[in-house]
Amino acid sequence: MIRRHSATAIFMHWYNAVCWLLLLFSGFALLANPLMQPVGTWWSSLWTSAFGGLGLLRLHIVAGMAWICVYVLYLLVGTRKEALPFLKEIAALHMSSDLVWCMRKGLWLVLGERLMRRLGIDPELPPQGFYNAGQKLVAVIAVLCSVGLALSGLVLVFASGKPGTEDLLQLCLLIHFCCAGLMAIFLPVHVYMAAFAPGEAPALRSMFTGYIPLEHVRRHNPLWFRKITEEKQ
Does any domain span residue 155?
Answer: no
Does any domain span residue 3?
Answer: yes
**Cβ contact 127:154 at 8 Å:** no
pLDDT for 109 beyond 80: yes
Does any domain span residue 52?
Answer: yes
- Residue 183: CB atoms within 10 A of its CB come to 22
Beta bridge partners of 212: 2
Task: Please report, rounded to a whole number, the percentage of residues in the chain having pLDDT higher than 70.
Answer: 100
**Cβ contact 12:5 at 8 Å:** no
Long-range contacts of 215-220 (CB under 8 A, 24+ apart): 217/2, 220/128, 220/132
What integer is the mean pLDDT of 112-134? 89
Q: Which domain holds residue 11?
A: 1-78
Among the listed residues 176, 179, 202, 204, the one whose alpha carbon sits nearest the alpha carbon of residue 190: 204
Does any domain span residue 25?
Answer: yes
Cα–Cα distance, 121 to 169 (Å, whole number)? 49
Helices and strands of the chain, counted as H and E runs: 11, 2
Quick one: pLDDT at residue 212?
93
Does any domain span residue 198?
Answer: no
Centroid of chain to Cα 204: 14
Does any domain span residue 8?
Answer: yes
Query: Predicted confidence band at 213 (pLDDT cuts at 50, 70, 90)?
Result: very high
What integer is the mean pLDDT of 101-114? 88
pLDDT for 201 beyond 90: no
Identify the top-confidence range among 5-9, 60-64, 87-91: 60-64
Quick one: pLDDT at residue 199?
81
Mean residue pLDDT of the chain comes to: 89
Name the residue type at position 53. G
Cα–Cα distance, 28 to 31 (Å, whole number)? 5
Task: Give burial (CB, 10 Å; 0-12/13-18/19+) of 188.
Answer: exposed
Does any domain span residue 71?
Answer: yes
Does any domain span residue 37?
Answer: yes
Q: Total structural domains in the chain?
A: 1
Identify the top-confidence range among 80-84, 126-130, 191-195: 126-130
pLDDT for 232 beyond 90: no
b/e per residue, 194-228, with b = 16+ CB within 10 A?
A: beeeeeeebbeebbeebebeeebbeebbeebbeee
